[in-house]
Chain A
Amino acid sequence: MSARRPVFEVRELESLRAELERQAALAAAPRWNADPEDVQRSVARLVLTLVEFIRQLLERQAIRRMEGGTLSPEETEAVGVALMRLEETVRDIASRFGLEPDDLNVDLGPLGRLL
């Protein structure tokens, strides 16, 4: 039993390869090593990646509870404002170090299921 081969146009193939590279890079076990040439930026990147990771976990859980009706309207508003500010703060600090959102690579894949 062999897989049927799909037919692609060249541009589509390139786009698929790029996307898979991106996803598979995220899926590999993350490693952090400080770049000795720019320790500050490396540290900032690690810290912001961790904060962004936690922010995404918090956001997912908040949405889950909002959907499940276990957050009061006041709690929903308070958590929403806090998450909004957290997102802005991460973006601001990141840009000060020349970091893009993509640099804070977070694949919640496996860990998203821990919740």
Chain B
Amino acid sequence: MTPLTPRVYLYALLSGPPACEAGIGVCAEPLRVVAVAGLVALVGDVAEPPAPTAITLRAQDTVLRRLSAGIDAILPARFGTLVENDTALAEALDRRRPELARALERVAGCEQMTLRVWGECAAAAPHFEVAGGGPGTRYLAGRRRLHERASRVPELEPLRQRLGDLVREERAERHDRPPLLATVQHLVERGAGGRYVDAVHAAREAVAPWRVSVSGPWLPYAFGEEAA
């Protein structure tokens, strides 16, 4: 693999061809839209993958926001996703086609709000006793609880109640490294950002002793995967 071989840089998957002209990408390369494995991909041909810098990261997000304006659904790819050519892209996407198609449906007409949960101490986790079984079964049940707990953020319950059905879907990740306890992504209808932020501010006291910060709206970066 020589560094001069042109490679295909994947920006995002789209629900259809963009309404506007594709324009240029992060490396000033012309963007093109290609139907691949039954999906629509936004790509650019680059000699080398762009290095992650403040400028390139912002540029990529800007490119995608510009293109998402005229499209129902956009699934951003991870920064730096490079494949050898369109055929390799088709192979890589083909493997995951059903999940990716589902993900596009999921994010249609939506955007993402990001919450961070701050505090000195996580909320207590509910303890479920496992009846019977030998040590192996109890071990596995314990590991299962741990996995489940990794994506639960009970600290946000008062806020969730106020948000109601503003939130279409949630993706959560616990860090439990005080003061950073968890990160939660919420999928909301496009345009609901203002109401969402208002609800977060209104819930400030209810969420105490924890603190919540919000950013967004973002493109639905975190919703390409099924919920854990």
Contact = CB atoms under 8 A, between A and B. Distances in A.
A and B touch in the complex (CB under 8 A): yes
Interface of A: 1, 3-8, 11-12, 15-16, 18-19, 27, 59-60, 62-63, 66-67, 73, 76-84, 113
Contacts of A16: 116, 180
Interface in B63-85: 65, 78
B134 A59 contact: no
B87 interface: no
Contacts of B99: 113
Given A4-B193, A19-B175, A78 B136 contact: yes
A80 B213 contact: no
A76 B225 contact: no
Contacts, number: 82
A14 B197 CA distance: 24
A73 B140 contact: no
Given A80-B137, A80-B139, 8 more contacts: A3-B216, A3-B217, A15-B180, A63-B143, A73-B137, A77-B137, A83-B136, A83-B139
Given A6-B116, A63-B143, A113-B225, A19 B177 contact: yes
A53 to B, nearest CB: 16
